[in-house]
A = this chain, B = another copy of it.
Amino acid sequence: MAPKKICVIGSGNWGSAIAMIVGTNAMKALNTFNQTVNMYVYEEIVDGQKLSDIINNEHENVKYLPGRKLPANVVAVPSLENAAMDADILIFVIPHQYVKTICTCLSGLVKPTTIAISLIKGFEKTESGSIELISHLIHDMLKIEVCVLMGANLANEVADGQFCETTIGCKNRKYNGMLKELFETPFFRVSIVDDAETVEICGALKNIVACAAGFCDGLLLGDNTKAAIIRLGLMEMISFVNLFHSTSRLSTFFESCGIADLVTTCYGGRNRRIAEAFVKSAKPLAVLERDMLNGQKLQGPITAEEVNVFLKYKNAEERFPLFTTVHKICIGTIKAEKLVDSLRDHPVHQLGLKSNL
């Protein structure tokens, strides 16, 4: 078989970090992968130069992953069509609000044998007033197999080669060997499970919990309260997966995509950081996002809103007091100080995990 052509769609902080890994792995697996890895770059002008030119000349994404070198075989391509042309492997790593546009552009260009791996956190709102998974949206629009990769993977630390784990959700075992070859390194340990929907939903929902953790930090509530918020958030994640998609397995929540990613995000991620600043500064989230994130998008409040759409659709808001309260705090209808009051009589205190399974 011909070596597979890889295209990374996205070149933000995480997109650039994952391009470092797959670029390096492609060079090591001459027979499996084409040696050139395309990286689609949404063109911007940085200090008077095109970002794609900077990346191709200096092998560094100076805007989104400064200070780390990309392998020379990662080539920035500012045209989506050219980047994805003939790709056998598409790695989606863009903010979730752009997926539909990207897939519309790719529709008809992608081979039916291509496999996509989505690293995207979030949901897509549907016309029927509910939500659907990003992986399902990609599958429906491009008619290709889609798996997901999620885990406790803050991009800068992955780029620095700090040891971590990740989880790939893939329903078709025939891809497992290729996926390990593509993503695993001595410092980036890959576990593959077939409960792909749970993996993906965990990646989206953890950002809501991280907002609650950030509010908790902003209110100086301490470690015990934060641990309770993380636990109750995890319980709502489990309930939500079972409400949204009835076939999840509890063991998946023990993978890196579950508790590990939740913990990292609640201690080190940007949703936590902005939510903390929201409480301490009393500035609107949009202002903090603009001032503190250097053009990156905040996923937690958007995901909280999408999840709220679904909970209303299912008439289940009361069973998810943490998710519901985070949404209300983000849109300003209740104060962050009310967060703990909403958790004092949480349904799981009466019913435990049994209520959700």
Q: Which of A's residues lie within 8 Å of B, judged by CB?
A: 152-154, 157-158, 160, 162-165, 186, 189-191, 193, 221-228, 230-232, 234-235, 238, 250-251, 253-256, 259-261, 263-264, 267-268, 340, 343-344, 346, 348-349, 352-354
Across the interface, do A251 and B165 meet the contact criterion of CB distance under 8 Å?
no
Across the interface, do A224 and B254 meet the contact criterion of CB distance under 8 Å?
no
Across the interface, do A231 and B259 meet the contact criterion of CB distance under 8 Å?
yes
User: Which B residue's beta carbon lies closest to that of A156?
Assistant: B222
A340 and B225 contact, Cβ closer than 8 Å, known pairs A260-B230, A263-B230, A349-B191? no
When all copies of this chain in the complex are counted, the total is 2
Across the interface, do A223 and B163 meet the contact criterion of CB distance under 8 Å?
no
Across the interface, do B223 and A267 meet the contact criterion of CB distance under 8 Å?
yes
Q: Which chain B residues border A234 with CB–CB below 8 Å?
A: 254, 259
Specify which of B163, B193, B343 is in contact with A224 (CB 8 Å cutoff): B163
Across the interface, do B227 and A340 meet the contact criterion of CB distance under 8 Å?
no
Q: Which chain B residues border A230 with CB–CB below 8 Å?
A: 259-260, 263
Across the interface, do A224 and B264 meet the contact criterion of CB distance under 8 Å?
yes
Q: Which chain B residues border A264 with CB–CB below 8 Å?
A: 223-224, 226-227
Q: Which chain B residues border A162 with CB–CB below 8 Å?
A: 221-222, 224-225
Across the interface, do B263 and A152 meet the contact criterion of CB distance under 8 Å?
no
User: Which B residue's beta carbon lies closest to that of A345?
Assistant: B189
Q: In the complex, given contacts A189-B346, A223-B264, A226-B267, what are 7 additional A-B residue pairs having Cβ atoms less than 8 angstroms apart?
A: A164-B224, A164-B228, A186-B344, A190-B349, A227-B261, A238-B254, A250-B250
Q: Which chain B residues border A186 with CB–CB below 8 Å?
A: 344
Give CA–CA (A251, B165) in the complex, Å: 23
